[in-house]
Chain A
C-alpha cells in the first residue's frame, strides 16, 4: 500500500485471502490478546487484521493504554464506512472497543440532558428517552452507532439546516477524553481540544463520556410529506422551499439522465404533536412497537453482480413511482425510526454489495458551486451507468468555525452515494473526488476509504491545523489517520 492509500480496486482478492497477507514480525503486545481477526468498517472495505480489546470500564481502558502506549484505534460499533475505526496493520494492530463502556450515567429530565458513556448506542438512547418525551437533538441515518462514534464523526442529521439543528457538537455540554497516558480530561465548548475532538475521528483520545442536551417531543411520530421533483433544479428548489421544515432530505435517482437527471423525492417532516395522532398511532404514542417483523440480515451469499445498473434502475423506477403515490396521499404520520433511520429496517444491508464490500462517497459543496457541481457529478454517475443503492441529497447549515476541527458539515449541499468496491466504481469515485475539489467542496471522513494524503490536504486545509493541534494524541492511530497523515 502506498502512502497515498490503496490503489483503487487492487486489493479485493488480497482481502479475501486475509489482507494484508504478511503482518511481519510479531507485534509488541502485552497481556492476553485474542487472535487477530479481520476488522472492517460498515462498507467491509478495506478489511484489516487486528486485535480487538474490549475494556470493561475506565480503569481497564487506562491499563491497556498505559501498557500499549501507541498505535491504538478507538472503535465503537464500526459504522464508519471505511477505515476510521481500524488499526493500521503495521504496529500493534490494536483496536480499543468502547462497547463495554456502555452505561447511562444519568438522565436529567428537567434540563433535559443525558450523560452517558461513549459505548452507549443511539438506539439505546432513543428507546430509553422517548417514553419521557425526550429525543437526541441530532441523529444520523442509522441508530446503530455509539455516542463516542457520533462525537468523533461530529454527525449531522436531517435537521442540520434548521434552528436547533447543526451537528452533534453543537449540543454537547462536555466530553471526557482519556489520553494515551490514561489521564482523563473533561472538555467543554471553548476549551482547547473540544473542537478537535468533535469530528476528530477519535484521534484526540479515547472518548469516555459525554453530556448531551436533548430536545422535547410530544410523540414518537413525524408528519412527513413527499415532494416529487422531476430534476435536479426542481429538487434543490424543493429542498430550499422546505427550509422552514425541521427535517429535510432527498432521495435521488442517480441513474436518471437527460431532463430527468437528478430527479428526486424530497422528504420534509415535523414532529407530530399528541393531538395530531389518529387512533392507530395514539395506542403507540412513542412509536416503539415494532411495526412489522424486521427483516433479518440478508444472507452473506449475495453475488457481487446482483446490484448492477439494471437492478438499481428497476429499483429506482419502482421507488420513484411509490414516491409519486405517497405524494398524492399527502402528509403521513411516520414513526421516528422510519423517518430518521430508514435503512435500519434491513439489518445488515451492507451485505447487498456482496463480499467484495462497498465504498461510500459523501461530499459537501458550497452554495455558490453546488448546482453546477452536483449536475456534473450526477452526469458522471449516470454516464458511468454505475448504480448507487443509496443516494441522498441534503442542504446543510453553518458548520464548525474552529480551524482545528475536522468536522464535515458546512453551509452548502451534501450528496451521498455508495458503490461496490470494484476497480471500475473506485475509478468513478476518484472522478467524483476530483469534481469535489474542483468545486471547492470537502469530503466526509467517516464515509471515506480511498482518499490520499495530498488529495485530502488540498481539499481540506484544516488538516494541517489538526495535525499540529496539541489535542492530537499520538497514542491513537487509525488506518484513516495513517492514510491521510493526520
Chain B
C-alpha cells in the first residue's frame, strides 16, 4: 500500500462522513482513483470495513473505516483533532429522509431528521472548515444538500427544511472563508438512484446514478466550483422556485 507523506494538501486523505451512503461511497472511489487515501466515517464501522478493503484493493491507496456519529455534536471537533492527519477534503454525505407522515407529528423523529441533515453535518463541517482553512494550499469541505431544500413540499418538508438550513449554513461558511484556499462546496442532488430512494418510482430522465452524481462533485472539486447541481435540475428548480405560491400549493408533486 502506498503511504504518502502529508506534505501537500492534494495528497492528504479525503474524509467521507456518512460513508455508507451510495453517493459518499462513489465519491470515495473517484478520489481514491486520483490517488488520495480515504477515511470512511459512519455509525457502523464494521460495515464500512468492507468498503475500506474494497477501496484499498481497487485503487492501491490506504483506506480506513472510522466510527463517527453525526448526532454527537459536542464531540465533532475533538474527533477531528484525534485523526492522525488532518484531511484535505471533508465531504458530508450524511442524510436521513425519514417518512414524512411518521415524522410530522413526532417531535423526537423531527429532531432526528434535523440532526442528521442539518446540525450534525453542519457542526462537523464548521469544525472541519476551521482546521482545513489553516492548512497551506487548496482544501475543501463539501456538503450534500438537496433540491428538496429549495421549496418545502408536503411530501418531505422536515427533510427539506433541514437540508435548506444546511445549504444556508454552507453559504455563510463559504463567504466567511472566501479569502482562504478553502473551497466550501454545496451539492444539491435531485433524484439519485440510491439505497435511500430504493423502491421509489423515480422519473428516469431526471434520475442520476450515484456514480454520475459523484462524478459531478469530483469534477467540480477539480475545477474549484462552489456549487454543484445537474443542469436539468437547475432548470427544473428555477421553475419550481418561481411558481407563485397560489399555484404551488395546488400542485401535487
A residues with a Cβ closer than 8 A to B are 32, 34, 54, 56-57, 103-107, 114, 124, 128, 132
Contacts and interface: CB of A to CB of B under 8 A. Distances in A.
Contacts of A104: 53-54, 57-58
Nearest to B54: A103
B57 A105 contact: yes
B199 interface: yes
A57 B58 contact: no
A124 B60 CA distance: 14
A124 B50 CA distance: 17
Contacts of A107: 57
B53 A106 contact: yes
A290 to B, nearest CB: 15
Contacts of A124: 58
A114 B53 CA distance: 12
A57 B47 contact: yes
Q: Which of A32, A56, A114 has the most CB of B within 10 A?
A: A56
Contacts of B195: 56
A386 B58 CA distance: 45
Interface in B59-118: 59-60
A104 B58 CA distance: 7
Contacts of B53: 103-106
Closest 10 CB pairs of A and B: A103-B54, A104-B57, A128-B58, A107-B57, A104-B54, A104-B58, A106-B57, A103-B50, A34-B199, A105-B53
24 contacts: A32-B199, A34-B199, A54-B198, A56-B195, A57-B47, A57-B50, A103-B50, A103-B51, A103-B53, A103-B54, A104-B54, A104-B57, A104-B58, A105-B53, A105-B54, A105-B57, A106-B53, A106-B57, A107-B57, A114-B57, A124-B58, A128-B58, A128-B59, A132-B60
Interface in B169-228: 195, 198-199
A114 B51 CA distance: 16
Nearest to A33: B199
Interface residues of B, number: 12
A103 B47 CA distance: 12
Nearest to B51: A103
Given A104-B53, A105-B57, A124-B58, 11 more contacts: A32-B199, A54-B198, A56-B195, A103-B50, A103-B51, A104-B54, A105-B53, A105-B54, A106-B57, A114-B57, A128-B57
Contacts of B51: 103
A103 B20 CA distance: 13
Interface in B126-174: none
A423 B228 CA distance: 52
Nearest to A125: B58
Nearest to B47: A57
A81 B69 CA distance: 46
Contacts of B54: 103-105
A191 to B, nearest CB: 25
Contacts of A105: 53-54, 57
A465 to B, nearest CB: 37
Nearest to A100: B195
Interface in B36-65: 47, 50-51, 53-54, 57-60
A57 B198 CA distance: 15
A106 B53 CA distance: 7
Contacts of A54: 198
A439 B101 CA distance: 67
A171 B175 CA distance: 57
A54 B57 CA distance: 23
Contacts of B47: 57
